[in-house]
Every structure is written in C-alpha cells, then in structure tokens.
Structure 1
Amino acid sequence: MHFISTSYIYDHSWTHVIIGMWHKYPHPHCSHVLTIDTVDRSVDPKTGIIRTERIIGCKQKAPMWIVKFFGGSEEAFVREISFIDPATQTASVTSVNLSLSQFATCLERIQYSPSQDGRTTFAQSAEIQTRMNMWRTAADKLENFLAERFKQNAHLGRAAFTDVLSTMWEAKQQQAAMA
C-alpha cells in the first residue's frame, strides 16, 4: 500500500476556494478530465451541510502492460463525494476509482479549511492499494505506477486550481472597479 500526503496554502479566502471548486474542470492543465456529472446534491435542513456526489470521467494513458494484463481501456471513472459546511467553513472531498477497482483502489481525501490569515489550507491524502496478493511483483509495479500517476495528476490539479482561483479573483477585482 502507498500513502501520499501533501498540503498547500491557497492565497484566497475559504469562500473563494469553495466557489472555485465547482469551476476547476474543464481546464487545459487537466486535459485528462473529460466529464463531470453531478448525480446527487442535497442540503441538510438542520445543519446546512451541502452534500454533492459526482462521477468524473478521465482518460488515462496507461502503459500497455497494464491494459493487456488487466483489460479495460484508457477511460476511467471516479466517484467523488463532497461535504461543505458553511457554518464551520470546512469542506471535505473523498474520491475513489470505480474503474478496475477489483485490481486496485485509490482513495483520496481532501480537506479545505480557513487559515488564521484569511487564506485557505488544502490537505490531501491518498491510499493506493492493489488487490492482487497472488502476483506481488505485478502488484508492486501497479502500485508504483498508480502512485506516480496520482502525484503527477495532483500537481496538474493544483496548477489548474491556482489558475482558476486567480482568474476568478481578477474577474472579481474588475467587477469591483466598474461598480
């Protein structure tokens, strides 16, 4: 099993970051993300917590040995569930792969929370695990590949999100200047 953990501070308020979450895709930095489909959204009337469930369609350039060995295609799907609590200004996002999950899973957890100085803390972790105990060599290769791919995509995702937040900030500043 591989564990990956990272954190980052966005130079934007929690509210700005949460609004930006919904505008991250499509984005040129993340051309592997093809579709985002919201399958459920609800608001708890007592707590005000917003729950959203989405299916994300991606195109991954998997090595040929993975496609031959496990079957499937370059298309992959991920289930994402987010909980946004406006009262406590916390947001959590959990995602897990649906495609080829009988062979390997990647469970990702993200937390957004306000920092003391008005910026937003981003904490991300992932657990990558193969489900093929019989073929340990193949399992190790697959886990290593998936961990590296996750790190690459996380880097692209952070660059895309930073770009989205900056673009939104510039638009907000322009609107304020015109008012």
Structure 2
Amino acid sequence: MHIFSQSFKYDHSWSHVVIGMWHKYPNPHCTHVVNVDVLDRTIDPITGIIRTERVLGCKQKAPSWIVKLFGGSEDAFVREISFIDPATQTATITSVNLSLSQFATCYERIQYRPMSSTQTAFTQTAEIQARMAMWRSMTDKFEDWLVQRFEQNAISGKAGFSDVLRTMWEAKEKQTAPS
C-alpha cells in the first residue's frame, strides 16, 4: 500500500471554498473528469449536516500493459460522499474508485477547515493498494503508476480549484462593486 498526503491553505473563506466545491468540475485543469452526477443529497434535521453522494465519470489514459493485463477502457468511475457541517465549519469528502476495484483501490479523504475568516486549510490523504498477490513486482509497478497518476491529478485538481475559487471571487467583487 502507498499513502499520498498533502496539506496547504486556500486564501478564501471556508464558506467560499465550500460553495466552490460544487463548481470544481468541469475545469480546464482537470479534463479527465468528464461528468459529475448527484445521486443523493440529504440534510440531517437535527445536526444540519449536508450529506451528498456523487459519481464522477473520468477518462484516464492507462498504459497499454495495464489495459492488456486488466482489460477495461479509459472510462472510470469514482464514488464520492461529502459531509458539510455548518456548525463546526468542517467539510469532509471521501471517495473510492468503482472501476477496476477488484485489482486496486484508491481511498481518498479531503477535509476543509477554516484557519481564519479569510483562509481555509486543506488536507488530503489517499491510500492506494493493488491486489495482485501472486505478482509482487507487477503489484509494485501498478501501485507506483497509480500513485504517480494520483499525484498528477492532485496537482491539476489544486490548480483547477484555485482557478474556480478565483473566478468566483472576481464575479462576487464585480457584483458588489459600486457602479
């Protein structure tokens, strides 16, 4: 198993970041995410926590040896569940791959928490594990490729989300600017 982890801050309020979460895709930095479907959304009447379940459709260019070994296509799907807690100002998102899950699992957890009124902390961890016990060298190679792909997507995701937040901020500033 490989673990990927990163933390940084966004120079935007927690509420701005949470609104931006719903507008992250599509964006030109994350062209691999081609659609997002909301399956379910509920609000707990006691706690006020908003739970949303979505499926992300992705196109991933896999190396030919992976396609030959496992079959499949470039189409991949990810299940995402988010919990937005307005009382504690915590947003937690978990996701897991649905495609090729019999061969490998990527379990990701993201959390947004306010650092101040104008900054939001972002933490991300991913546990990536391949399941090919009889071929340890192939398992290692596959996990290495998955980690590299995840890191590339994380870099693109950060750039894309930063652009989404900046665009939202600029639009808000235009709306509130005196004419």
Aligned with 1:101: secondary structure?
Answer: coil
Task: Indicate the residue corresponding to 2:46 in structure 1.
Answer: 46
Task: Indicate the residue corresponding to 1:84 in structure 2.
Answer: 84
Question: What is the rounded CA distance, in whole Å, between the counterparts of 1:131 and 1:52 in structure 2?
Answer: 29
Question: What is the rounded CA distance, in whole Å, between the counterparts of 2:102 and 2:84 in structure 1?
Answer: 30
User: Which residue identity is paired with 2:56?
Assistant: I
Aligned with 1:169: secondary structure?
Answer: helix
Report the TM-score when normalising by structure 2: 0.98
User: Which residue identity is paired with 1:72?
Assistant: G
Q: Deviations for 1:50-96, whole angstroms, at most 9, x for unmatched residues?
A: 00000000000100000000010011000000000011100000000
User: Which residue identity is paired with 1:121?
Assistant: A
What is the Cα deviation at residue 131 of structure 1? 1.1
Aligned pairs for 1:1-179 (under 5 A) are: 1-116=1-116, 118-178=118-178
Structure 1 unaligned residues grouped into runs of 5+: none
User: Which residue identity is paired with 1:17?
Assistant: V
CA contact (8 A) 2:14 2:117 kept: no
Q: Deviations for 1:35-63, whole angstroms, at most 9, x for unmatched residues?
A: 10000000000000000000000000100
What is the Cα deviation at residue 116 of structure 1? 3.3
User: Segments of 4+ in structure 1 off by > 4 A?
Assistant: none
How much identity, in percent, do the aligned residues show? 69
CA contact (8 A) 2:130 2:139 kept: yes
Question: What is the rounded CA distance, in whole Å, between the counterparts of 1:27 and 1:165 in structure 2?
Answer: 11
User: Which residue identity is paired with 1:98?
Assistant: L
What is the Cα deviation at residue 178 of structure 1? 3.9
What is the Cα deviation at residue 8 of structure 1? 1.1
Question: What is the rounded CA distance, in whole Å, between the counterparts of 2:93 and 2:13 in structure 1?
Answer: 18
Report the TM-score when normalising by structure 1: 0.98
What is the Cα deviation at residue 34 of structure 1? 0.6
Structure 2 unaligned residues grouped into runs of 5+: none
